[in-house]
């Protein structure tokens, strides 16, 4: 069963990445997080500026031996960034875009879905490392020899599904800036503005900041939100209609394991402060287990095990699940 649960996690992780890699979703992210697109419509970003198909997680090409193709599109810069000396880093999603201001200027954009906000080190430092690796990996694929003038700007954008309470419903950017220490010497910004980190901290609707991109991402990765609400949110926040391809993906949305289950815990805990900590945690666990079981081939016991419920607590949660089902059926 352990192998089956691992496989289920892999499938739901892949489903989340597929959703985030959809060009319309990427367009919403770019409009909200990347200054070059703030005055563009999501329709233009989707159809005019995002190049080719996003690379998702499992494409491996050594960055040391990849050359840019004659078409001008940066291909072959693999999601598995590998050199003999620097080790291996796997990117969730990476794609390329031209800018409205200059169609010859290309951006390299990386999206990371991060559920664990406390992995044992400051997450921002890992984001900084990812940004730097995508700059250094351009040697041999974007430019050769001493042609450093061809370096392209990199964005690494991190979607944090379970941030601490004081960071929820927020978007923060980190970039290199110029500071004159002595004299008044200035450099053209495009020569040093070569990398930015953007941290997106999701939250929930009981907050005035629950709007725009944080609302869209929260709604679209929710296991309990209906298709109609998702479509309306997309229209209200970004003026876009839900495409058929995303509607077909709806069946996957309710099965996100790591992202949904952890948010279920966190929201259950948060509700607990208002209605009793124990009750809040239990409700979060019960609803997560029911959603996972409903939208997969897992039994309630398997879903509870997947979430991390201790074996000696499973029977108690099964009773709570049955009570919840009876209550829902009575409505």
Rounded mean pLDDT for each run of 10 residues along the chain, 331 residues in total: 55 76 95 96 96 70 36 44 50 92 88 89 94 88 88 95 91 95 94 95 88 94 82 95 79 49 53 51 74 74 78 87 82 64
The two three-digit tokens of residue 257, written as one number = 């394991």
Give, for 83, the enclosing helix (H) or strand (E). strand 80-83
What is the pTM for the complete model shown?
0.70
The two three-digit tokens of residue 176, written as one number = 């290199």
Residue that has been written with the tokens 């008044």 in this structure: 184
The pLDDT of residue 205 is: 81
Positive or negative: CA dihedral 41, 43, 47, 50: positive
The pLDDT of residue 270 is: 52
DSSP string, 227-274: HHHHHHHHHHHH--PPPHHHHHTHHHHTT-SHHHHHHHHHHHHHHHHH
The pLDDT of residue 16 is: 79
β strands within the chain, DSSP E: 50-56, 80-83, 87-90, 93-98, 106-114, 153-160, 170-175, 195-201
CA 13/CA 231 separation, integer angstroms: 22
Q: End-to-end CA distance of the chain: give it in Å, rounded.
A: 35
- 3-state DSSP call for residue 189? helix
CA 67/CA 251 separation, integer angstroms: 39
The pLDDT of residue 279 is: 58
Give, for 300, the enclosing helix (H) or strand (E). helix 300-307
């Amino acid at each position: 069963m352990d192998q089956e649960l691992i496989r289920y996690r892999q499938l739901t992780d892949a489903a989340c990445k597929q959703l985030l890699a959809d060009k319309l979703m990427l367009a919403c992210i770019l409009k909200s997080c990347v200054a070059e697109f703030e005055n563009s419509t999501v329709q233009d970003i989707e159809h005019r500026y995002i190049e080719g198909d996003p690379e998702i997680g499992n494409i491996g090409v050594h960055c040391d031996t990849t050359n840019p193709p004659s078409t001008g599109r940066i291909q072959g810069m693999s999601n598995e960034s590998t050199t003999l000396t620097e080790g291996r880093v796997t990117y969730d999603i990476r794609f390329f875009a031209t800018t409205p201001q200059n169609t010859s200027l290309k951006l390299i954009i990386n999206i990371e879905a991060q559920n664990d906000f406390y992995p044992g080190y400051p997450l921002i430092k890992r984001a900084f490392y990812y940004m730097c690796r995508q700059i250094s990996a351009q040697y041999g694929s974007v430019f050769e020899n001493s042609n450093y003038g061809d370096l392209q700007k990199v964005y690494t954008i991190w979607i944090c599904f379970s941030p601490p309470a004081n960071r929820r419903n927020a978007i923060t950017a980190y970039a290199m800036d110029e500071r004159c220490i002595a004299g008044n010497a200035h450099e053209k910004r495009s020569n040093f503005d070569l990398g930015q980190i953007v941290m997106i901290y999701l939250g929930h609707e009981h907050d005035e900041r629950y709007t725009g991109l944080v609302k869209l991402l929260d709604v679209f990765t929710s296991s309990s939100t209906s298709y109609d609400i998702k479509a309306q949110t997309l229209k209200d926040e970004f003026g876009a209609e839900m495409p058929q391809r995303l509607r077909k993906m709806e069946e996957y949305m309710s099965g996100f394991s790591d992202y949904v289950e952890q948010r279920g815990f966190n929201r259950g805990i948060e509700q607990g402060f208002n209605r009793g900590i124990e009750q809040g945690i239990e409700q979060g666990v019960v609803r997560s287990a029911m959603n996972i079981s409903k939208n997969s081939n897992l039994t309630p016991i398997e879903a509870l095990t997947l979430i991390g419920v201790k074996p000696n607590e499973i029977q108690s949660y099964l009773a709570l699940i049955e009570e919840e089902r009876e209550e829902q059926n009575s409505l």
